[in-house]
């Protein structure tokens, strides 16, 4: 994005670290920002109230859409408490925290809503780097979905994925650059056990988030040392 702001954007927003960072990225790059949050049968409905509070804080419109059918047609440890969550990534596939079809349905629904609002720019916090290898977070899927949505509705949507090539440390660096590191650290919910901020500290989401933060903090210290 260039330095001049412009236009309207819709952020696919969950209240987690990634989409919250994207929300503040969007506020820097667009004049008018809206959010859409999906309820999809996630274990922790608290996500929704966290997202609502953050949207309010950021002064943007918050819209909740029910996509709970997603948990009725597929299986995931994120939506089904009877399925024990993989704590490590299996060697040959992605962990069972994968929610089949989630980003396809999210982006499809977001595009329909964006069209209603006269919005062309859709922002998602997916990342291909440093994650569990979910296929619907990869760059090729996002590009393909972008084409599909344009064909489906004869529109010119542009899907932005500002975190696509960032690892977690890079996402923390971006939050810091946007001046919202503390908000992201204290007021978002990433933890699979539903605890906001630094979370439970031991689930896969907390482990990844903390490792990224430590790596980022180390790199800041390192560059300060070099300056001296
Ligand atoms: Zn946790």
Handedness of CA 83, 46, 163, 212 (dihedral sign): negative
Structural domains of the chain, ranges and CATH numbers in brackets: 8-227 (3.40.50.620)
Contact 44, 189 (CB under 8 A): yes
pLDDT (tens digit, 9 = 90+) per residue, 57-115? 999 999 999 999 888 887 776 777 777 776 666 777 777 777 788 999 999 999 999 99
Q: Please give the DSSP secondary-structure letter assigned to residue 121.
A: E
Q: For residue 17, is pLDDT > 70?
A: yes
Distance 193 CA to ligand 1 centre (A): 5
* Predicted local confidence at residue 3, as pLDDT: 54
The tokens of 134 are what?
Answer: 């979910």
Angle between the 17-29 and 46-58 helix axes, to the nearest 10 degrees? 20
pLDDT (tens digit, 9 = 90+) per residue, 19-71? 999 999 999 999 999 999 999 877 667 889 999 999 999 999 999 999 998 88
Distance 210 CA to ligand 1 centre (A): 10
Phi-psi region of 37 (alpha: psi -120 to 50; beta: other; left: phi over 0): beta
Distance 46 CA to ligand 1 centre (A): 14
Q: In this prediction, what percent of the chain has a pLDDT beyond 90? A: 69
Contact 60, 35 (CB under 8 A): yes
Distance 111 CA to ligand 1 centre (A): 31
**Average pLDDT, integer, range 196-201:** 94
* Predicted local confidence at residue 46, as pLDDT: 87
Name, in order, each residue with C-beta under 8 angstroms of 57's C-beta and a sequence gap of 6 or more: 183, 187
Distance 37 CA to ligand 1 centre (A): 21
Distance 203 CA to ligand 1 centre (A): 4
Query: Cα angle at 135 between 185 and 129, to 5 degrees?
Result: 45
Q: Residue 198: is it exposed, middle or buried by C-beta count within 10 angstroms (0-12/13-18/19+)?
A: middle
Q: Is 201 helix (H, G, I), strand (E, B) or coil?
A: coil
Handedness of CA 144, 209, 132, 76 (dihedral sign): negative
């Amino acid at each position: 994005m260039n330095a001049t702001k412009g236009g309207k954007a819709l952020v696919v927003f969950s209240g987690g670290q990634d989409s919250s960072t994207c929300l503040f990225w969007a506020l820097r790059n667009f004049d008018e920002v809206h959010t859409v949050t999906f309820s999809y049968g996630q274990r922790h409905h608290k996500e929704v109230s966290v997202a609502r509070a953050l949207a309010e804080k950021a002064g943007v419109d918050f819209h909740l859409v029910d996509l709970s059918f997603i948990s009725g047609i597929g299986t995931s440890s994120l939506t089904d408490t009877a399925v024990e969550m993989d704590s490590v990534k299996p060697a040959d596939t992605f962990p069972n925290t994968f929610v089949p079809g989630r980003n396809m349905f999210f982006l499809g629904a977001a595009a329909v809503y964006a069209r209603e609002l006269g919005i062309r720019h859709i922002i998602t916090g997916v990342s291909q780097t440093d994650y569990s290898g979910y296929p619907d977070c990869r760059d090729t899927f996002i590009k393909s979905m972008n084409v599909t949505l344009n064909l489906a509705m004869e529109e010119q949507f542009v899907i932005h994925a500002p975190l696509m090539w960032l690892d977690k440390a890079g996402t923390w660096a971006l939050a810091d650059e946007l001046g919202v590191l503390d908000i992201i650290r204290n007021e978002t919910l990433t933890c699979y056990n539903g605890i906001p901020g630094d979370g439970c500290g031991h689930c896969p989401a907390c482990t990844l988030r903390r490792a990224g933060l430590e790596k980022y903090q180390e790199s800041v210290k390192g560059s300060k040392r070099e300056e001296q």
